[in-house]
């Protein structure tokens, strides 16, 4: 018995020694916001939050940067103590840069210098709003109380109705190009387009959850595509519990599950290859016959065309013109004393992937910076 | 002689247990509704679907928007058979497929060619091999996998 006890004690000691001998590591992340020291304990903490291993077996560096309050990266310079140095253009490479549990940074199979990273942030402007500002704006406009939301309200005052118009994939860069090229007749008239930042990863379900809850992914639990519902309260939950009515006019499917609201799906019933005309038609019916306190209208076409033909394609421009026209008609139909907030969930950048010419998901200006249009009637 | 008798009785008892277990599928409490533009709404239990004629789809490409595409085989009940049974309107344009967690998608009629309500994937009951995507999955071989609604609970027929 005594011998067994000694063996057990020795085993425990060996285990303790092994864990104590695990090499400690730390990486300095330098940016305009100051220096952040990221170490193994941070890695373990973030790994529990971000469990998706499709991008990296460890953690995407983008997630670490985003959690370090860096939202839009232009380039990054990697250095080590041996004097090695390498700079990466983030648009080309950022999405695939990974950090493993040993503190080693890699791009695909290639190791990068891993002692410090200097981040050059893209100049996104000083007055940067957030996608998290939409929820408090909606709730405040409808006179619904809320607590502990990090965003701020974009307009003061109360309204009889709020209309949310979701312009999937219409990033700020695309908005600005469309404006300069004269494609917008309505989204530029009497509307202030605020420049805002979305959440990481810039994907529809993640951004939808942030819009609906007013909370970042770390708090609402939606940090990747495929997680379809949140435990956090949504604007539809709070609208419903306040005795108000909401309707959501969606495209052919739900990118994110909507509860406590009446959902109207808009499949391509006329088989013309687009659901935007069906969304508009359903929204028109709702506004004319059954306008709720909160109306959600989701146009998917800019994003769909961007994936198929690229963000700078003629097909995307045609979609922008079409959806801008629907926007104008909707604004005209909406009743008096309505607050309209039109917004994108993410932007898009050119890629060379099988079956895709455009995509989003990187911590870059093209994907992360979005317009938010606020209009009162 | 006694030993033979014992063996025979044992075999009879074993077949009584094994045959139903092998043919009736896993014990799952799950219902599938067929509703909307139909003459008779259906509320089918999982075991009802197990008993209906099964169709095999082989070497079907699953075109996924996230992750690697996969090729596999699927078995289940033809959607057309269920639509006939429910008396679905002959001029329906789309169906709305809804999952247990509330996810829903509207799918056009032409995308439903050869569609089945799958109970098995690669020869195994989905409920056993991949319960997070089971027990029923709408498999539409002519479309990308975002239309292959898993944990399927309802199919609504739209005119």
Tell me the per-residue pLDDT of B54-87, one tens digit each, with 9 for 90 and over.
999 998 888 876 667 788 999 999 999 999 999 9
Tell whether B12 is covered by a domain.
no
Interface of A with B (CB under 8 A): 54, 225-226, 228-229, 252-254, 257-259, 263, 265-269, 271
Of the segments A34-48, A321-335, B99-113, which one has the largest average pLDDT value?
A321-335
Domain check: are A281 and A357 in the same one? yes
Is B104 in the A-facing interface, judged by CB distances under 8 Å?
yes
Q: Are A351 and A112 in contact (CB under 8 A)?
A: no
> Do A53 and A151 reside in the same domain of the chain?
no
Residues A103 and A34 in one domain: yes
In a domain, A16, yes or no: no
**Residue A60 covered by a domain:** yes
- Give percent of chain A with pLDDT exceeding 70: 93
Q: Per-residue pLDDT for A162 more than 70?
A: yes
Q: Is residue A5 part of a domain?
A: no
Selection from A308, A296, A312 nearest residue A259 by Cα: A296
Cα dist. B31→A137, A222, A289, B50 in Å? 41, 28, 35, 12
Residue B6: pLDDT band by 50, 70, 90 thresholds?
low
Distance from C-alpha of A63 to C-alpha of A106, rounded to nearest angstrom:
14
* Residue B21 pLDDT: 46
Burial class of A211 by CB neighbour count within 10 A (0 to 12, 13 to 18, 19+)? buried
Angle ∠(B130,B124,B53) on CA atoms, nearest 5: 120
CB proximity B146 to A under 8 Å: yes
Whether residues A267 and B94 touch (CB distance < 8 A) is answered with yes
> Over chain A, what is the mean pLDDT?
91
| A155, part of any domain | yes
Alpha-carbon span A189 to A196, nearest angstrom: 19
Q: Are residues A159 and A102 in the same domain?
A: no
- Give the range of the structural domain holding residue B31, as residue numbers without chain letter: 26-158
Residue A2 lies in a domain: no
**A308-335 burial, b for 16+ CB within 10 Å, e for fewer?**
ebbbbbebbbebbebbbebbeebbeebe
Range of the domain at A101: 23-121
First to last CA, chain A: 84
3-state secondary structure of A142: coil
A101, A121, A141: which is the final residue of a domain? A121
Say how many domains are in chain B. 1
| Angstroms from A254 CA to nearest CA on chain B | 6
Which pLDDT value is given to residue B20? 44
pLDDT for A226 equals 77
Last residue of a domain, one of A68, A100, A121: A121
Determine the distance in angstroms separating the CA of B9 from the nearest CA of chain A, rounded to an integer: 51
Q: Are both A133 and A96 inside the same structural domain?
A: no
pLDDT above 70: residue A295: yes
Q: What is the pLDDT of residue A52?
A: 82
With respect to residue A8, please indicate whether it lies within any of the assigned structural domains: no
Helices (H), chain A: 2-21, 40-49, 61-67, 90-93, 134-141, 172-180, 204-213, 217-220, 235-241, 276-290, 301-309, 314-333, 365-368
The mean pLDDT value for A205-225 works out to 93
Instruction: State whether A116 and A160 are in the same domain.
Output: no
The complex's ipTM works out to 0.77
Residue A269 and residue B94: Cβ atoms within 8 Å? yes
Residue A317 shares a structural domain with residue A173 = yes
State the smallest CA–CA distance between residue B136 and chain A in angstroms. 18
β-bridge pairing A73-79 and A116-121: antiparallel
Cβ pair A258:B102 closer than 8 A: yes
Residue A234 shares a structural domain with residue A362: yes
**Confidence band of A190 (pLDDT split at 50, 70, 90):** confident
- Cα-Cα-Cα-Cα torsion A328, A141, A216, A232, nearest 10 degrees, comes to -110
Which domain CATH number covers B153?
3.90.420.10
Do A45 and A138 share a domain, yes or no?
A: no
Q: Look at A167-171, A305-309, A333-337, B12-16 and tell me which has the smallest mean pLDDT.
A: B12-16
Q: What is the pLDDT of residue B107?
A: 95
Q: Check pLDDT > 50 for residue B135.
A: yes
What pLDDT was estimated at residue B129?
Answer: 87
Long-range contact pairs involving B10-17 (C-beta distance under 8 Å, separation at least 24): none
Please answer whether residues A376 and A180 qualify as being in contact, where contact means their C-beta atoms are separated by less than 8 angstroms. no
Q: Which of A288, A287, A317 is nearest to A302 (CA)?
A: A317
Confidence band of B114 (pLDDT split at 50, 70, 90):
very high
Considering only CB atoms, A54 lies closest to which of B66, B93, B104, namely B66
Mark whether A60 and A80 lie in a shared domain. Answer: yes
Residue A71 lies in a domain: yes
Q: pLDDT at position A51, please?
A: 84
Residue B10 included in any domain: no
Angle between helices A314-333 and A301-309 (to 10 degrees): 180
Domain membership of residue B121 (yes or no) is yes
Q: B151 lies in a domain?
A: yes
* Mean pLDDT value across residues B143-150: 89
Is B1 inside any structural domain? Answer: no
pLDDT tens column, A54-91? 788 899 999 999 999 999 999 999 999 999 999 999 99
- Pair A297, A151 in one domain: yes
* CATH of residue A75: 3.10.20
Tell whether A152 and A85 lie within a shared domain.
no
Whether B144 is in a domain gets the answer yes
> Is B118 domain-assigned?
yes
Residue A277 pLDDT class (50, 70, 90 cuts) = very high
Asked whether the beta carbons of residue A267 and residue B103 sit closer than 8 angstroms, the reply is no
In-domain check, residue B145: yes
Q: In whole angstroms, what separates CA B144 from the centre of its chain? A: 18
From A84, A101, A121, give the residue that closes a domain: A121
Quick one: pLDDT band at residue B110, thresholds 50, 70, 90? very high
- The total of structural domains in chain A comes to 2
| Whole-prediction pTM | 0.86
- The CATH number of residue A291's host domain is 3.40.720.10
Q: What is the pLDDT of residue B22?
A: 47
Mean pLDDT computed over every residue of chain B: 87
């Amino acid at each position: 018995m005594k011998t067994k006890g000694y063996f057990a004690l020795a085993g425990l000691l060996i285990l303790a020694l092994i864990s104590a001998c695990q090499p400690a590591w730390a990486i300095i992340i330098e940016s305009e916001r100051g220096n952040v020291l990221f170490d193994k304990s941070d890695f373990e903490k973030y790994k529990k939050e971000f469990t998706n291993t499709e991008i990296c077996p460890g953690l995407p560096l983008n997630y670490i940067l985003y959690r370090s309050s860096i939202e839009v990266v232009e380039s990054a310079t990697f250095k080590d103590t041996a004097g090695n140095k390498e700079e990466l253009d983030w648009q080309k490479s950022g999405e695939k840069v990974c950090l493993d549990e040993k503190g080693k940074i890699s791009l695909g199979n290639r190791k990068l210098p891993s002692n410090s990273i200097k981040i050059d942030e893209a100049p996104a402007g000083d007055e940067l709003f957030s996608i998290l500002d939409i929820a408090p704006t909606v709730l405040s406009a409808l006179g619904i109380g809320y607590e502990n939301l990090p965003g701020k309200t974009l307009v003061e005052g109360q309204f009889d109705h709020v209309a949310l118009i979701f312009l999937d994939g219409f990033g700020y860069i695309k908005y600005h190009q469309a404006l300069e090229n004269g494609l917008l007749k309505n989204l530029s008239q009497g509307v202030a387009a605020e420049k805002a930042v979305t959440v990481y990863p810039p994907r529809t379900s993640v951004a939808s959850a942030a819009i609906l809850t007013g909370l970042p992914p770390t708090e609402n639990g939606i940090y990747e595509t495929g997680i379809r519902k949140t435990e956090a309260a949504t604007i539809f939950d709070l609208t419903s519990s306040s005795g108000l009515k909401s309707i959501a006019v969606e495209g052919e499917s739900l990118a994110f599950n909507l509860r406590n609201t009446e959902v109207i799906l808009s499949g391509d019933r006329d088989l013309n290859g687009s659901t935007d005309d069906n969304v508009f038609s359903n929204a028109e019916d709702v506004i004319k016959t059954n306008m709720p306190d909160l109306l959600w209208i989701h146009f998917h076409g800019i994003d769909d065309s961007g994936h198929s033909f690229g963000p700078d394609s003629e097909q995307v421009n045609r979609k922008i013109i079409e959806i801008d026209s629907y926007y104008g008609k909707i604004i005209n139909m909406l009743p008096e004393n309505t607050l309209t907030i039109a917004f994108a969930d993410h932007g898009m950048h050119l890629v060379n992937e099988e079956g895709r010419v455009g995509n989003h998901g990187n911590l870059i200006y093209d994907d992360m910076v979005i317009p938010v249009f606020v209009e009162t009637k | 002689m006694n030993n033979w008798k014992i063996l025979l009785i044992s075999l009879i008892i074993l077949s009584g247990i094994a045959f139903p277990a092998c043919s009736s599928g896993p014990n799952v409490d799950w219902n599938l509704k067929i509703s909307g533009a139909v003459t008779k709404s259906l509320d089918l239990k999982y075991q009802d679907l197990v008993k209906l004629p099964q169709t095999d789809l082989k070497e079907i490409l699953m075109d996924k928007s996230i992750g690697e595409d996969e090729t596999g085989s699927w078995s289940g009940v033809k959607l057309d058979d269920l639509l006939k049974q429910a008396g679905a309107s002959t001029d329906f344009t789309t169906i709305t497929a809804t999952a247990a967690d509330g996810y829903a998608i509207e799918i056009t009629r032409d995308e439903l060619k050869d569609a089945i309500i799958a109970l098995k994937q690669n020869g195994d009951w989905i409920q056993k091999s991949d319960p997070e995507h089971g027990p029923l999955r709408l498999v539409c071989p002519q479309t990308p996998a975002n239309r292959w609604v898993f944990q399927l609970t309802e199919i609504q027929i739209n005119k």
